[in-house]
Amino acid sequence: MHQPLLDVRNLSVRFQTAGAPVIAVDNISFSVSQGEVLGVVGESGSGKSQTFMALGGLLASNGETTGEALLEGHDLLALSDRELDHIRGQKISYIFQDPMTALNPFRSVAAQMTELLRLHRGLGQARARTEALRLLERVRVPDARRRLDAYPHELSGGMRQRVMIAMALSNQPRLLIADEPTTALDVTVQIQVLDILDELRREENLAVVLITHDMGVVARLAHRIMVVYAGTIAEEGEAEDVLLRPSHPYTAGLLASMPDLAAPLTQLQPIRGYPPDGRKARIGCMFAPRCFKVQPVCRDVTPALEARVSRQRQACHFPLEPRDTAIAGGAS
């Protein structure tokens, strides 16, 4: 395997609050390569977004980060604000869930796009406008010439998200971080936007991090999947392995909680209980209180992330064998 583009080692993120500090991300390590889509799956509060906000220096002001995040040799977490600005402007782009709040409602698409192109690539006004048009066409905005002069409220949700993707491309990034990029979109539009992301990945050799709660989204696009629970990686491996032969009871439970139109209709088997509070002490496996395979050791000893029973790595003392997965009602 070639050198990863992004190599994150022992990353932790904590937030100071009036009470106990909240640990959002607890000592996680992972990497992303060029031309690869890494799917990051987790529920609200799992730390999946904060992990990647930390890399771009985008945490709230009470956030603290430790660890290393090497992007082509630069440690993003050790850079000064100015250096980070430079690297971010050259190499990293973000796409967020809600394009309406990310776009400035008072400025036309052209004004917002040319501003970025002038800033990041030093283009003059006329060339910036030509480039903006090319980028809109690149993300298959129909009638792009007319839409260039539109204001955000004149565009549908799907078109706004395409504009956001076009803007994210304006600095010619190496790493694209897409945080729930299709969650706010209707189903018929969602699949179009996902396929644009995949096309860009292929043609521009981008590394894409796809953060989502939707197993269907990662099933379509991701090469590798990282399942995050309570700030730790529960399971990490090839998409096929994780989705078809989940080895962590949490992954199996998530899959069994999701009805699937392509599978026969079966009774849902929800995971019992609720995710833990980030302020609680971290002892043992964080999933233990909700796990159907829990043993006494799970409550005391934190399991390491290693490959025990299968190709993928899992942080679990008692990982599922493929036959257990069927019992847990996991992959169909």
Partner 1 sequence: MTTGMEGLEVDALSITYPIGQGPFRPRLELKAVREVSLSIAPGKTLGVVGESGCGKSTLARGILRLQRPDGGTVRWNGQSISDLTDDEFRHVRPEMQMVFQDPLASLNPRMRVADIIAEPLVTHRPELSGSKRQALVAKAMERVGLLPDMARRFPHEFSGGQAQRIGIARAIVLEPGLLICDEAVSALDVSIRAQVLVLLEELQQTLGLAILFISHDLAVVRYIAHEVMVLYLGRVVEHAERDTLFANPKHPYTQALIGSVLSKDPEIERSHEVPRIGGELPSPIDPPSGCPFNTRCPLVQPICRQTMPALVVQPDGSQVACHVVEAQKAA
Which positions lie near partner 1, rule CB under 8 A?
Answer: 43-44, 142, 156-159, 186-192, 195, 213-217, 219-220, 239-240, 243-244, 253-263, 265, 268-272, 274-275, 331-332
- Smallest gap from Cβ 80 to partner 1, in A, equals 37
Nearest distance, CB of residue 271 and partner 1, angstroms: 4
Q: At closest approach, how far in Å is the CB of 133 from partner 1?
A: 20
In angstroms, what is the minimal distance from the CB of 170 to partner 1? 24
Give the residue with the Cβ less far from partner 1, 71 or 164. 164
Nearest distance in Å: CB 9, partner 1: 28
In the 8-state DSSP scheme, what is residue 268?
-
Find, among 178, 180, 186, 179, the residue nearest to 159 by Cα: 186
Q: Closer to partner 1 at the Cβ: 167 or 242?
A: 242
- List all residues 6 or more positions away from 199 whose beta carbon is below 8 Å from its beta carbon: none
List the beta bridge partners of residue 95.
178
Q: What is the Cα–Cα distance from 107 to 127, expressed in whole angstroms?
A: 19
Comparison of 69 and 218: residue with beta carbon closer to partner 1: 218
- Residue pair 72/91 in contact (Cβ under 8 Å)? The answer is yes
Q: Provide the edge-to-edge strand list for the sheet that holds 22-32.
A: 22-32, 6-15, 63-71, 74-75
- Of 215 and 286, the one with the shorter C-beta distance to partner 1 is 215
Q: Within 13 A of 82's CA, how many CA atoms are on the CB side?
A: 0
Cα 208 from Cα 305, distance rounded (Å): 23
Closest listed residue to residue 210, CA positions, set 95, 53, 101: 95
Nearer to partner 1, 130 or 332 (CB): 332
Beta bridge partners of 212: 41
Say whether 62 sits in a helix, a strand or coil.
coil
Query: Among 88, 85, 116, 96, which Cα is nearest to 6's?
Result: 88
For partner 1, the closer of residues 72 and 137 by Cβ is 137
Please choose, from the candidates 178, 169, 199, the residue with its C-alpha nearest in 3D space to the C-alpha of residue 98: 178
Closer to partner 1 by Cβ: residue 71 or 139: 139
State the minimum distance, in angstroms, from the CB of residue 234 to partner 1.
12
Q: In the complex, what is the shortest distance from the CB of residue 156 to partner 1, in angstroms, rounded to a whole number?
A: 5
